[in-house]
Chain A
């Protein structure tokens, strides 16, 4: 079984600032994947970034990067130079086992102009 915990229900930052979203997880799988998905208002969910647990190097996608601490079971998302279009629900997820993807409850990120 897998659990994913996002402890920040909502965050608000100014445009161009850097923001970090927290996520902790627990899994019994040896080979697993971690994800951050973004769900903009009334729009479909899209993948932001993906991390294979066996890779030590933190994944990076343009302004988005993760801090993967395997021993601590922590997987935070850093958004640099935040933009208005980054306003969305962000879901951390764990996968690779028989239970599909397990999602956290989400963090509502608001970018203020």
Chain B
């Protein structure tokens, strides 16, 4: 069974640009959640999608958005990039909604550098 796939793995952007990251969950998983990992703040929850609906959202500005498609693949977008957005963005899938199962399967992450 293929794991969680994230693309691209690495990318470099400049301030003010926008970026889109993609995540393909494990086949059959309907929940996709996104996390931002930085050395200073650790792992912070961005949002969760389940069956194409955003179920939960963390404490991030509106520049961070996402969506989920009918095949459960998910994308997250960050607009008007700031230096502080440099981070490893992790996607995780789960067989059920987070509040019901909580067990996550993580991808390898997309490392974003903002210059």
Contact = CB atoms under 8 A, between A and B. Distances in A.
B85 interface: no
B45 A100 contact: yes
Interface stretch (B12-20, B68-76, B106-114): B106-114
B102 A33 contact: yes
Nearest to B41: A105
Interface in A9-44: 33, 35, 37, 43-44
Interface residues of A, number: 22
Contact of B33 (A100, A102, A104): A100
B28 interface: no
Interface in A73-103: 91, 95-103
Interface residues of B, number: 25
Q: Interface SS of chain B: helix, strand, loop or mixed?
A: strand
Given A33-B102, A95-B98, A105-B42, A100 B109 contact: no
Contact of A103 (B42, B47, B102): B42
A65 B92 CA distance: 24
Nearest to A29: B99
Nearest to A6: B42
Contacts of A99: 45, 56, 58
Nearest to B33: A100
Contact of B102 (A35, A43, A91): A35
Nearest to A52: B102
Enumerate the 6 nearest inter-chain pairs by beta-carbon distance, A residue then B residue, closest first: A100-B45, A95-B102, A103-B43, A33-B102, A45-B106, A105-B42
Interface of B: 3-4, 33, 35, 42-45, 47-48, 55-56, 58, 90, 92, 98-99, 102-109
Given A50-B102, A91-B43, A102-B45, 8 more contacts: A44-B3, A45-B106, A46-B106, A47-B103, A100-B35, A101-B98, A103-B44, A105-B42
